Amino acid sequence: MRRAGRCWTELRAGWPAGLFLLAACATTSTDDDGSSGTCPAGRERCGAICIDPQTDPANCGACGNVCGAPSANGCTAGACTCDGAAACAAGTTCCPGAGCANLQESATNCGACGAACPAGQVCRTGICIPDPCGGCEAGRTCCGTACVDTTTDPANCGSCGHACAADETCALGICVRVECSPPCGEGLTCCGTSCVDVMSDTRHCGACGTACGPGESCIMGGCSCGGSICAAGEACCDGACTNITSSTDHCGGCGHACGENERCVMGACLCGTAACADGEVCRSSGSTFLCCPAGATVCGATCCAAGESCCSGRCVDTASDLANCGGCGNVCDTTVADRCVGGGCRCGSAAACRKVGLVLPCVVGSPGGAQLCCAGACRDVSASDCGSCGNACASGTCTGSLLPIGDRCLFFCG
User: Tens of pLDDT along 125-141?
Assistant: 899 988 888 888 888 88
Sorted by sequence, the CB contacts under 8 Å of residue 29 that are 6+ apart come out as: 1, 2, 4, 36, 38
Q: Check residue 284 and give its pLDDT.
A: 87
- Three-class secondary structure of residue 158 per DSSP: coil
Instruction: Give the distance between the most distant pair of CA atoms in the chain.
Output: 150
- 74 neighbors 80 (Cβ within 8 angstroms): yes
Sorted by sequence, the CB contacts under 8 Å of residue 344 that are 6+ apart come out as: 325, 326, 351, 352
- 67 neighbors 57 (Cβ within 8 angstroms): yes
Flag whether 137 is in a domain. no
Flag whether 385 is in a domain. yes
Flag whether 235 is in a domain. yes
Say yes or no: 324 and 368 in one domain.
no
Say yes or no: 346 and 371 in one domain.
no
Q: Check residue 107 and give its pLDDT.
A: 87
Q: Check residue 36 and give its pLDDT.
A: 56
CA atoms within a 13 Å half-sphere pointing along the CA-CB vector of 67? 27
Structurally, the chain folds into a number of domains equal to 3
The structure's pTM equals 0.40
Say yes or no: 366 and 341 in one domain.
no
The residue among 269, 296, 319 that closes a domain is 269
Flag whether 333 is in a domain. yes
Range of the domain at 322: 309-351
Q: Check residue 306 and give its pLDDT.
A: 87
Say yes or no: 368 and 403 in one domain.
yes
- The whole-angstrom separation of Cα 120 and Cα 357 is 67
List of the chain residues with pLDDT < 70: 1-37, 178
Q: Check residue 4 and give its pLDDT.
A: 38
As to burial, measured by CB atoms within 10 angstroms (0-12 exposed, 13-18 middle, 19+ buried), residue 126 is: middle
Q: Check residue 10 and give its pLDDT.
A: 39
- 121 neighbors 107 (Cβ within 8 angstroms): yes
Flag whether 265 is in a domain. yes
Say yes or no: 374 and 399 in one domain.
yes
- The whole-angstrom separation of Cα 96 and Cα 116 is 14
Sorted by sequence, the CB contacts under 8 Å of residue 225 that are 6+ apart come out as: 213, 215, 216, 217, 236, 239, 240, 241
How many CB atoms are located within 10 Å of the residue 108 CB?
Answer: 13
- The whole-angstrom separation of Cα 395 and Cα 397 is 5
Say yes or no: 333 and 381 in one domain.
no
Flag whether 254 is in a domain. yes
Flag whether 338 is in a domain. yes
Q: Check residue 373 and give its pLDDT.
A: 96
The residue among 214, 239, 269 that closes a domain is 269
Say yes or no: 347 and 364 in one domain.
no
Flag whether 167 is in a domain. no
